[in-house]
Chains A and B, each alone.
Chain A
């Protein structure tokens, strides 16, 4: 795996995959996509980066341990459900807001943040598994 072609191309691929994972996650509300598949794409991006540049580089790039990221995702997902309490609605009732940002209407909703939470849970847990497997193999 330690060829110069792979090492040169992988940062480009990784950044493209991460960007695409965000796109897929946000598109998921009404079209194919969502937090789960987005998180898988992001996790495979980190796994690819680990193959080309070694696990320590990935851990530095992530700053937080992948499991901590997964925990944050779970917390975010739970928090979007709890938000309904403030609006006197049932747990996990979808709440919507349509603020005008720079003249464009942006649809913000609790389902979207729930999905972002799912994204972090899947990315964190999958990246955690992938990185520890790569570490065990000795990496590059």
Chain B
């Protein structure tokens, strides 16, 4: 080890940042430190399960608050950067909070906070003992790290962190169907992560850097002998698998219906969006010109994903499985931005990502309410919920309208922006795909709502009669509040975005222009422009 007396005189200023870092600068990394530390503490006290909820709740609230503060700062100042260990860029690992990552991180924290704040009864004692809350904290660490990091290999590390935590959350109940779902989910995601790692290694070999800003510069300056196009295709396949895009989407509907509703809600809200985020960041910001040739392919993938999701939703006879297909269809909408790479299309994609996080989490939580009362998610066996609880039924109807893209809810605006952008970019068929898939989803969700809520009882109940035998009442008022509360909070968010879209629209537009402006990003991180 180095000793103070015999160390040679080294000019540290050539390698390290020597200026002091204020608490303001720490704002970039605090959203990562909070869930990481909380997760470590929860693993340490894993047998004192009564402490888990308060610690996790406090950490999530702090995380959301810190994300909001960071978002405020990014909105006024542009990307905020911090170098780990004070090593100068591009050699140290950079954390670069740009508007896109910070917005998604903030919404993730909000969704996680709302979904777990009321101590869902579905997280029972056994699941707590197996470590629901520690896994949740580590999942949030991975998600936040992925959204905020400015280093490609570090992004891979956060992918691994969230992947391993999500394995843990998927098998919490140790039921046969859960293990079956986890194997499918795990295998495909491991393949995708390995592809991502391979692509990162090749990119490092080709460009000699892992810092995202540095990659953006060097990729644009690289000669034709550097196979950046092939690398972009590798990244695309890896992240498309993560995001569940057609034709590598089948792991999602096969696994998302197996865990408890809260876990499904978290996965639907957070995980696929990390894949979309990484896809947008690598293909648009980092490898922009080199990946342009993938635009047509991505446009086909986007359209096929939308339609496959919509058709899958129509064909499902299980409520939770249908929701899985709706997530897939939403991914198609988010890929339009990556395919067209125009300001409008990217704005629509980012807007859609935020909308999808809120609405899909809310719908999975709503499916948890339905399952808690009817003990099944089979559309054929459900029915009579409107007679049992009309207000809740209307909230779910609003959420289903939002997911189908009907005004005045949050799904309408991003789809309108996307259709507009598709026509403006000379791809009217992609705009038509958005509309057709929206129409098919309207049919699918309308059917589901009629079956679960509107008709009097399960299949076979005569018209005009009400058979409420299949709908149990809640065990207690507390259980009702704990189950329905999060759905209502998220539905309110969906309605507010639908009625007042200007704020989020401006943020999405800013995030999109950030993606299309590598010069601004690199100037912020490295102080130079390509």
Contact = CB atoms under 8 A, between A and B. Distances in A.
Given A78-B37, A90-B82, A96 B43 contact: no
A93 B22 CA distance: 13
Given A29-B1, A105-B3, A78 B36 contact: yes
Contact of A71 (B5, B22, B43, B95): B43
Interface in A87-137: 88-94, 96, 98, 105, 107, 109, 112
A30 B1 CA distance: 6
B33 A78 contact: yes
Interface stretch (B83-91, B243-251, B516-524): B83-91
Contacts of B17: 90
A60 to B, nearest CB: 16
B37 A93 contact: no
A30 B44 contact: no
A75 B84 contact: no
A84 B2 CA distance: 19
A27 to B, nearest CB: 9
A82 B5 CA distance: 27
Interface residues of A, number: 29
A91 B82 contact: yes
B52 to A, nearest CB: 12
Contact of A82 (B20, B22, B23, B33): B33
B297 interface: no
Contact of A88 (B21, B29, B95): B21
Contacts of A82: 33, 37
Contacts, number: 81
B138 to A, nearest CB: 9
Interface string B20-45: 11110110010001001101111111
B33 A67 contact: no
Nearest to A81: B33
Interface residues on B, range: 20 to 34
A98 B4 contact: yes
Contacts of B26: 85, 91
A112 B46 contact: no
Given A68-B44, A91-B26, A92-B84, A107 B5 contact: no
A72 interface: yes
Nearest to A105: B3
Contact of A90 (B36, B42, B47, B84): B84
A107 B40 contact: no
B43 A74 contact: yes
A85 B24 CA distance: 11
B43 A89 contact: no
A111 B21 CA distance: 19
Nearest to A87: B20
A65 interface: yes
Contacts of A85: 23, 26
A70 interface: yes
A89 B20 contact: yes
A75 B36 CA distance: 8
Contact of B44 (A75, A98, A105): A75
Given A30-B1, A78-B37, A94-B85, A88 B46 contact: no
Contacts of A74: 36, 39-40, 43
A96 B2 contact: yes
A82 B16 CA distance: 18
B21 A90 contact: yes
A45 to B, nearest CB: 22
B48 to A, nearest CB: 11
Given A30-B2, A67-B46, A107-B3, A90 B40 contact: no
B25 A105 contact: no
Given A29-B1, A85-B26, A90-B83, A71 B33 contact: no
Residue from A74, A79, A90, A107 with most neighbouring chain B CB atoms (10 Å): A90
A90 B30 CA distance: 11
A89 B46 contact: no
Contacts of A94: 85
A29 B2 CA distance: 9
B21 A65 contact: no
Given A67-B46, A72-B44, A105-B4, A89 B21 contact: yes
A71 B2 contact: no
Nearest to A112: B1
Interface string A45-75: 0000000000000000000010110111011
Given A90-B83, A91-B82, A107 B2 contact: yes
Contacts of A92: 84-85
A78 B59 CA distance: 15
A70 B43 contact: yes
A74 B4 CA distance: 29
Nearest to B138: A74
Contacts of A88: 20-22
Give the 10 A-B CB pairs with smallest separation, nearest first.
A71-B43, A74-B40, A75-B40, A71-B44, A88-B20, A107-B1, A93-B86, A98-B4, A90-B86, A91-B29
20 contacts: A30-B2, A65-B47, A68-B45, A71-B40, A71-B43, A74-B39, A74-B40, A75-B40, A75-B41, A78-B40, A85-B23, A89-B86, A90-B82, A90-B83, A91-B85, A91-B95, A93-B86, A96-B2, A105-B5, A112-B1
Interface of A: 29-30, 65, 67-68, 70-72, 74-75, 78-79, 81-82, 84-85, 88-94, 96, 98, 105, 107, 109, 112
Given A74-B39, A109-B1, 9 more contacts: A65-B46, A74-B36, A75-B41, A75-B44, A85-B26, A89-B21, A91-B82, A96-B4, A107-B3
